[in-house]
Amino acid sequence: MAKTRPGKRDIDSYTIKGSNKIVRAGDCVLMRPSDTSKPPYVARVEKIEQDGRSNVKVRVRWYYRPEESIGGRRQFHGAKELFLSDHYDVQSAHTIEGKCIVHSFKNYTKLENVGAEDYYCRFEYKAATGAFTPDRVAVYCKCEMPYNPDDLMVQCEGCKDWYHPACVGMTIEEAKKLDHFVCSECSSDDDLKKSHMTFPVSPASDAKVEPKRRKRGP
């Protein structure tokens, strides 16, 4: 007689192996890659389920690091920046190494101290096409680049735009000592107001690429 396949059921939480940390749907987690020389993958847990043999699996939505995207890492991408992708998977809960926090971009910039578990996300990412939402963001400084929270910037008291010290002929040390700053354009014309331009963040190519399946650790 054929054996009945053990049924699956949704469960509310999972305790990470070797710790007392509890994971629930909606939490962000670090997941072990098969190549231990690489940093852990980051994912958002959508659902947790257990079969009749007490095996626990999680349905996750992956965050991509900039270097994992089609366009690759760019100058304005921060070290802790992630993209929320449309790439879903089901993985063994045993590959969860720990929990982390993926902040909104605005909240991340307000952190007084950034911990190892802190990340941020300002874009959603389509893994098959490399498209971003939003596909344009405000740019700053003479170099007309989007804001990277890892970089020190100084604000002009006239136009209220932000500048990289190097772009206005200043060292980081000099910028930290500033009490006031007026850019060259405002110092020559006090009435000049600059409007922000926008910067495309999606790859120009229309070629579609299938998402690569991620290899997890055992």
Number of Cα atoms under 13 Å in the Cβ half of residue 167: 18
CATH of domain 9-133: 2.30.30.490
pLDDT of residue 2: 47
Q: Which residues contact 115 (CB under 8 A, 6 or more apart)?
A: none
> How does pLDDT run along the chain (218 residues), one tens digit per residue?
445 455 789 999 999 988 899 999 999 999 999 888 899 999 999 999 998 888 999 999 999 999 999 989 999 999 999 999 999 999 999 999 999 999 999 999 999 999 999 999 999 999 999 999 999 889 999 999 999 999 999 999 998 999 999 999 999 999 998 888 998 888 875 444 444 455 565 554 444 444 445 554 44
Asked whether the beta carbons of 167 and 143 are under 8 A apart, the reply is yes
pLDDT of residue 184: 87
158's tokens: 């006239």
Identical topology for domains 9-133 and 136-216? no
The β-bridge relationship of strands 9-10 and 41-50 is: antiparallel
For the chain, give every domain's residue range.
9-133, 136-216
As beta bridge partners, residue 62 has 43
pLDDT of residue 31: 96
Q: Which residues contact 2 (CB under 8 A, 6 or more apart)?
A: none
Asked whether the beta carbons of 44 and 32 are under 8 A apart, the reply is no
pTM: 0.80
Fold held by 136-216:
Herpes Virus-1 (3.30.40)
